[in-house]
Amino acid sequence: MTPEFQPLSQSAMNFHSDNNAAVCPEVLEAIAAANSITDGSYDGDRLSVRLDGVFGEFFGAPCRVFAVTSGTAANSLGLAAMVPPWGAVVCHREAHIEVDECGAPEFFTGGAKLILADGDGGKLTTETVRQVVAAMRGDVHQVQVGALSLTQATEYGRAYTPVEVAALSDDAKARGWRVHMDGARFANALVHLGCHPGDVTWRAGVDVLSFGCIKNGGMSADAIVVFDEQLAETLPYRKKRAGHMPSKGRFAAAQLLAMIETVAWQRNAKAANAGAAQIAAAAGNRLMHPVEANELFVRVGVDGATKLREQGFGFYDWGDAGSGEARFVVAWDTSAADIDALAAALREIAA
Amino acid sequence: MTPEFQPLSQSAMNFHSDNNAAVCPEVLEAIAAANSITDGSYDGDRLSVRLDGVFGEFFGAPCRVFAVTSGTAANSLGLAAMVPPWGAVVCHREAHIEVDECGAPEFFTGGAKLILADGDGGKLTTETVRQVVAAMRGDVHQVQVGALSLTQATEYGRAYTPVEVAALSDDAKARGWRVHMDGARFANALVHLGCHPGDVTWRAGVDVLSFGCIKNGGMSADAIVVFDEQLAETLPYRKKRAGHMPSKGRFAAAQLLAMIETVAWQRNAKAANAGAAQIAAAAGNRLMHPVEANELFVRVGVDGATKLREQGFGFYDWGDAGSGEARFVVAWDTSAADIDALAAALREIAA
Amino acid sequence: MTPEFQPLSQSAMNFHSDNNAAVCPEVLEAIAAANSITDGSYDGDRLSVRLDGVFGEFFGAPCRVFAVTSGTAANSLGLAAMVPPWGAVVCHREAHIEVDECGAPEFFTGGAKLILADGDGGKLTTETVRQVVAAMRGDVHQVQVGALSLTQATEYGRAYTPVEVAALSDDAKARGWRVHMDGARFANALVHLGCHPGDVTWRAGVDVLSFGCIKNGGMSADAIVVFDEQLAETLPYRKKRAGHMPSKGRFAAAQLLAMIETVAWQRNAKAANAGAAQIAAAAGNRLMHPVEANELFVRVGVDGATKLREQGFGFYDWGDAGSGEARFVVAWDTSAADIDALAAALREIAA
Amino acid sequence: MTPEFQPLSQSAMNFHSDNNAAVCPEVLEAIAAANSITDGSYDGDRLSVRLDGVFGEFFGAPCRVFAVTSGTAANSLGLAAMVPPWGAVVCHREAHIEVDECGAPEFFTGGAKLILADGDGGKLTTETVRQVVAAMRGDVHQVQVGALSLTQATEYGRAYTPVEVAALSDDAKARGWRVHMDGARFANALVHLGCHPGDVTWRAGVDVLSFGCIKNGGMSADAIVVFDEQLAETLPYRKKRAGHMPSKGRFAAAQLLAMIETVAWQRNAKAANAGAAQIAAAAGNRLMHPVEANELFVRVGVDGATKLREQGFGFYDWGDAGSGEARFVVAWDTSAADIDALAAALREIAA
């Protein structure tokens, strides 16, 4: 794996990460609008109090929504509400919560463990989950698994279908676990699946969703969406004592509301996915995983990577050193020119 | 004490908190400007990397600057870098870290204690600090005090002078402690003192400062300013695993840079302080504490409070129930009309 | 306050602490007996499984009993089962959990706070508890009190009567709190009160008791006695992950069972209390607190303290430096000769 | 894996665990002797203060020794002194700290991760360690490995030679890590290796050793042996706040001193190892791992297991359900008759 946070090469054509992308106009305008009136502090403002309702309508089910300032906070606070300190969470071996959050889940839960399962393209299956927990025991000498965490879309740009999520959830629930979804790129998965947001979340057994807004054109707000009221009880205290209840909370709520109410989430994700699909078609058999969101993994070869960089493309090497694998992320605002250029360059490599 | 976070009454004239205030234009413009270019993620962008230099020039000393999303995070991360889990922090009995952060210091430090000392107007003195630690022991059966935390300006709107900070720091350093300053309203104290920012921080022995930006016209960024390089070592890890390293960090850095580089910090704080001073003059002998920042505490009486609310003023009751004490906070953007009106109303009460 | 753990002066006549006392014969014999058969490990042995029943009969109510290896562990594990990380425990300002456990409650609870109340002789009253919580709020910005902790006997050798415990518990329960009792010297209080063990625990509203065995002639086992089944649920996991589930648990259970079943607890506590009473009578008006257990606090004067030490008495200075106050603890095995000698010496000082 | 803590079947011939074994006479006598004099409390007694010297002589190097009440506490406190909350420890996938301590390392470290490596017979190799850390990064988005933990003897009764430990330590040190050894069965490994205790610990790069006493004939004391003075600094505070500083610490120290000074450690371990060797010889090609301590793993078959139990042998099934694998542990006090009987029974199965 290659980090997402390497210093940005000043590439003309940047495919490093959707974290490098701009904030979309609707979000910026909502921030400005929120500034036009004096309002309550913390969560007591006129925007924050609308979050539950707006997201409830979006998902088609009652839910509690907590704005936070990073996906790491969303994931870790959500998980902490689901498992005790002696609990455990089953997730994919390459899940962001395991690989890229510096132990945040352990910090927030008070020391719960992540139990690592396998699966092609970052996707868990009922079988790979079963394998890792088969040997675990219910006695007091072991941590007790209390949750399953799925990443939607996965670290390899794959999407779980509603049927797949439901199958995993069913097994999880049968074991007494809760189901968590890391949706840093939830919008991208959703437009790929073409289903209702509820189909791949609460209807499929998801209890808590980290709803990604930042990568998809937001600025500084993601959300924890809790479909099980009981799991929401401790979150206000957890948020506050983690420093995740900012005094001008209205500027976080504004971003989330704008994303949903203007349907920018959909336009942005569609744009990013379409760009990725166009490039994927050009990559041909160099493509390592089906493209179901806005990320591509391509065997460009070591020489190919060098050449691409010479041409001005910015991206991360992936896989083992010298593997010649590359990750390209298309953002909501990646230009058609950049997309065309990368498609052309990969077509040449693939040829 | 009365909470800062009560649901905002829709008062025409709002003196509840500077958290209710708007974001100042310089900050909003800086956010928009940060959006005009694609940039690095996390702390690797062109703005974040300038923080150390710009704050170093402001304070007149090398420092490390970490943007965070709340004052609670700034305080708790800073303290966690200063004391071990079996450590303790001496602070005022009414300090925000003790009273209004839901145990955040305990969460971030891994269980360190706050040791509570007294002092008029929220100000510690070398004597009140000495009193609480006189009985403490250096043995393994007790937590070990490792830091002193001062609030500048205090919860009662008082400012520590450079001489006072230095005296407290000298004693603290002689005991082997570090010195922390909660500067949620640092700018307000600074314009009152009229000294160089370095005079009341590193020159007076402060090791770590929570630099408040949000209450003073910022949107979603405060900063941890670390004057002792060694104390900065663990902060990147602590930030990340606490979910306080947002992926689009440039929008936090932009706010902090704008506040310093446009000198908006000074204009905003001066405006708020001047409003508070005008109202204080009107409050006469009803004033409970000297006004050295942008907060006033006034004995308005229970009837007076009722009448003020009927007149459309929003503010918090303070002190014990039925004490008839009120807190008024003037923000950078409180209108002259509102200030005049409150001054007139208090003059009448005081008469 | 003076530490309990100063290096033992090799006093001929030791009144430092009941921690210096020997293990009583019944406990040693029970350990030897436990060694005569091979048995199950952890809590699965023939002795551990009897704990609930034997203590249940002792207290006259069903209970769950968990052997631990120190009073600190008993207190902290018990409290951790009662309050969440953002919770708080009201206790006396001089309670052992606050003053002498190096932040153990904070460690085990994940950062809960202790809220300090006053009271003569280490005894809380409904009024002193009310005072400290009057200003606390139920909102998310503050930790939430979830338990009251009483020390029986107190740090000053005072005993709460059943009526006093019930009054404090009633108020606590009315606020939605749980009630914890630190009974490091529970046996001493009990023989003083002369009541049934249930009268001053579960019948008076106590949910969790730290049952002290070590100071009263035990070797290495105290117990957590849980009267509310629901509070016991998490304790096995908490014990295990804290390293407090020793593999040869039978040797801890043996001590606790011996103490109860041979009624050694009563004989030992009576002996210690009687010695303290004899000395107290001699101390006359120098006595600072009524003697209701096995500790005495006496104004011996600075010169008196020096003289006593010259005579070979070992004890701790107490109170502020130079106050001339001394603490004397009588253990179950303190010799009649030593008791007579101290009584004589204090009679002389008091004269 | 099968738990060590299943309720003990009342087998005539018990090979479940060395935790079921008795306390050896030297340890019991030392406890009685410690009871003959009044002594200091906590660590201030005449026995505790001798620990450093006696172990220093045993290991041939200065060291700091901390008595604790369980192997879990020894491991977790030791690791907590070695890595920060955002740290990580590389250990074997089946290490006790990972599989059987209910997340104790995570609790004591404040959330550090265990990174799981492979290796035959529970033994890590420089290559298997290299594999798991190859993909790890030094940046702030990941936990930072700070220690390697080896189990001596391993969970499969294998012993690391001094050369093997040194090779692993050299690599670890080159990466800036510390080296921890879980020596719950250290004595068994040591008598197998026949080397000086220092050869396989500090001379081979081990910084902190959990010295097992309980399984080898002790009662309630294991020890943390720290060869690097600097790593010992925080341990007194960590012990105290974890409830692992019992007030009558002399009874723990007495056990450890007796084990070393009477050389009971060696006699006990030799007896157990010899019994295991005798049985191993009988098991023939059914033996799954070389026997280098006091544990055997044998393919007895499902029918064989049933038959053995019918014959009165107590032991744990191992491996996957239905694998027909069994673990037998020989304790220091397992009778010659039981050993002969098991050897005979396995010889028949192997035939």
Q: What is the mean pLDDT of residues A140-162?
A: 97
pLDDT, mean over chain D: 94
Q: Which residue of D has its CA nearest to B139?
A: D237
Q: Which residue of D has its CA nearest to A106?
A: D111
Contacts of residue A111 in chain C, CB cutoff 8 Å? 241
Distance, C-alpha A184 to centroid of its chain: 2
Q: What is the mean pLDDT of residues A77-97?
A: 98
Q: How far is B79 from chain D (nearest CA, A)?
A: 15
Residue D35 forms beta bridges with which residues?
A: none
pLDDT attached to residue D42? 83
Residue C8 has pLDDT above 70, yes or no: no
Q: What is the mean pLDDT of residues D68-74?
A: 97
Residue A118 has pLDDT above 70, yes or no: yes
pLDDT attached to residue B165? 98
Q: How far is C230 from chain D (nearest CA, A)?
A: 21
- Tens digit of pLDDT for each residue in A193-244? 999 999 999 999 999 999 999 999 999 999 999 999 999 999 999 999 999 9
Within an 8 Å CB–CB cutoff, is residue C241 touching chain A? yes
Reported confidence tier of residue B11, pLDDT bands at 50, 70, 90: low
Q: Which chains touch A (3 or more CB pairs under 8 A)?
A: B, C, D
B89-118 exposure pattern, b = at least 16 Cβ within 10 A, e = fewer: bbbbbbbbbbbbbbbbbbbbbbbbbbbbbb
C-alpha closest to that of D160 among D207, D114, D126, D211: D126
- 3-state SS record for chain A: CCCCCCCCCCCCEECCCHHHCCCCHHHHHHHHHHCCCCCCCCCCCCCHHHHHHHHHHHHCCCCEEEEECCHHHHHHHHHHCCCCCCEEEEEECCCHHHHCCCCHHHHHHCCCEEEEECCHHHCCCHHHHHHHHHCCCCCCCCCEEEEEEEECCCCCCCCCCHHHHHHHHHHHHHCCCEEEEEECCHHHHHHHHCCCCCCCCHHHCCCEEEECCCCCCCCCCEEEEECCHHHHCCHHHHHHHCCCCCCCCHHHHHHHHHHHHCCHHHHHHHHHHHHHHHHHHHHHHHECCCCCCCEEEEECCHHHHHHHHHCCEECEEECCCCCCEEEEECCCCCCHHHHHHHHHHHHHHHC
Reported confidence tier of residue C9, pLDDT bands at 50, 70, 90: very low
Residue C11 has pLDDT above 70, yes or no: no
Q: How far is A6 from chain D (nearest CA, A)?
A: 9
Q: β-pairing, B144-151 with A316-318?
A: unpaired
Residue A351: count other Cβ atoms within 10 Å of its Cβ: 8
Within an 8 Å CB–CB cutoff, is residue C84 touching chain A? yes
Q: Which residue of D has its CA nearest to C249?
A: D220
Q: What is the mean pLDDT of residues A157-161?
A: 98
Q: What is the mean pLDDT of residues A325-330?
A: 97
DSSP state, residue C301: -
Contacts of residue C102 in chain B, CB cutoff 8 Å? 86, 140-143
Q: What is the mean pLDDT of residues C6-16?
A: 64
pLDDT attached to residue D320? 85
Percent of chain D with pLDDT over 70: 97
Chain A interface, mutation test: which of D5, D137, D155, most A Cβ atoms within 10 Å?
D137
Contacts of residue C102 in chain D, CB cutoff 8 Å? 237, 240-241
Does residue C284 contact residue C299 with C-beta atoms inside 8 Å? no
Q: What is the mean pLDDT of residues A134-161?
A: 95
Q: What is the mean pLDDT of residues B262-277?
A: 98
The answer to whether the CB atoms of C5 and D214 lie below 8 A apart is no
- Tens digit of pLDDT for each residue in D247-269? 999 999 999 999 999 999 999 99
Tokens of A141: 């000498």
Chain B interface, mutation test: which of A69, A185, A210, A216, most B Cβ atoms within 10 Å?
A69
**Sheet-wide strand order for C325-329:** C295-299, C325-329, C316-318
pLDDT, mean over chain B: 94
Q: What is the mean pLDDT of residues A125-140?
A: 93
**D86, exposed or middle or buried, with CB in 10 Å at 0-12, 13-18, 19+?**
buried
**CA dihedral defined by A272, A273, A278, A282, rounded to 10 degrees?**
110
Q: β-pairing, B144-151 with B178-183?
A: parallel
C-alpha closest to that of C25 among C204, C193, C217: C217
CB proximity under 8 Å: B 284-323 to C: 320
Considering only residues A53 and D20, tell me which one the structure prediction assigns the higher pLDDT: A53
D133-160 exposure pattern, b = at least 16 Cβ within 10 A, e = fewer: beebbebbbbbbbbbbbbbbbbbbbbbb
Reported confidence tier of residue A112, pLDDT bands at 50, 70, 90: very high
Read off the amino acid at residue B229.
Answer: E
- What is C9-56 written as a DSSP string? P--SEE-S-GGGSPPPHHHHHHHHHHTTS---STT-STTGGGHHHHHH
Tokens of A150: 């799925």
Q: How far is D312 from chain A (nearest CA, A)?
A: 25
Distance, C-alpha C147 to centroid of its chain: 17
Q: How far is C234 from chain B (nearest CA, A)?
A: 20
C-alpha closest to that of B180 among B294, B96, B236, B254: B96
Chain B interface, mutation test: which of C2, C17, C99, C106, most B Cβ atoms within 10 Å?
C106
Reported confidence tier of residue A10, pLDDT bands at 50, 70, 90: very low
pLDDT attached to residue C36? 81
Tokens of D24: 């050896």
Q: Which residue of C has its CA nearest to A139?
A: C237
Reported confidence tier of residue C39, pLDDT bands at 50, 70, 90: confident
- What is C67-124 written as a DSSP string? EES-HHHHHHHHHHTTS-TTEEEEEETT-HHHHSSTTHHHHHHTSPEEEEE--GGG--
DSSP state, residue D298: E
Of A5, A107, A143, the CB nearest to D139: A5
Instruction: Write down the pTM of the prediction.
Output: 0.95
Residue B73 has pLDDT above 50, yes or no: yes
The answer to whether the CB atoms of B86 and C99 lie below 8 A apart is no
Residue A251 has pLDDT above 60, yes or no: yes
pLDDT, mean over chain A: 94
**CA dihedral defined by D104, D105, D111, D114, rounded to 10 degrees?**
-130
Within an 8 Å CB–CB cutoff, is residue C238 touching chain B? no
Within an 8 Å CB–CB cutoff, is residue A76 touching chain B? yes
Which secondary structure element, helix H or strand E, spans residue B26, and what is its range? helix B25-34
Q: How far is A21 from chain B (nearest CA, A)?
A: 6
Q: β-pairing, C208-211 with C13-14?
A: unpaired
Dmax over CA atoms of chain B, in Å, equals 60
- What is C240-293 written as a DSSP string? HHTT-S-TTTHHHHHHHHHHHHT-HHHHHHHHHHHHHHHHHHHHGGGB-S---S
For A245, how many CA atoms within 13 A lie in the half-sphere containing its CB?
25
Reported confidence tier of residue A11, pLDDT bands at 50, 70, 90: low
Helical residues (DSSP H) of C175-263, grouped into ranges: 186-193, 235-241, 250-261
Residue A321 forms beta bridges with which residues?
A: none
pLDDT attached to residue A5? 37
Residue D178 forms beta bridges with which residues?
A: D147
Question: Which residues are CB-neighbours of B287 under 8 A, at least 6 positions away?
Answer: B280, B296, B297, B298
- Tens digit of pLDDT for each residue in C41-91? 888 899 999 999 999 999 999 999 999 999 999 999 999 999 999 999 999
Reported confidence tier of residue C135, pLDDT bands at 50, 70, 90: confident
Contacts of residue D236 in chain B, CB cutoff 8 Å? 140
The answer to whether the CB atoms of A38 and B107 lie below 8 A apart is no
Percent of chain B with pLDDT over 90: 90
Tokens of C328: 């004397």
The answer to whether the CB atoms of D111 and A113 lie below 8 A apart is no
Q: Which residue of D has its CA nearest to A94?
A: D135
Within an 8 Å CB–CB cutoff, is residue B22 touching chain C? no
Tokens of D212: 């097992």
Within an 8 Å CB–CB cutoff, is residue A240 touching chain C? yes
Residue D120 has pLDDT above 90, yes or no: yes
Task: Find where tokens 């309630």 sit.
Answer: D220
Interface A–B counts its CB contacts (< 8 A) at 179
- Tens digit of pLDDT for each residue in B12-56? 799 999 999 999 999 999 999 999 877 888 888 999 999 999 999
From A336-350, B210-224, C33-47, C108-122, the region with the lowest mean pLDDT: C33-47
Of C42, C110, C140, the CB nearest to A110: C110
Q: How far is A222 from chain B (nearest CA, A)?
A: 10
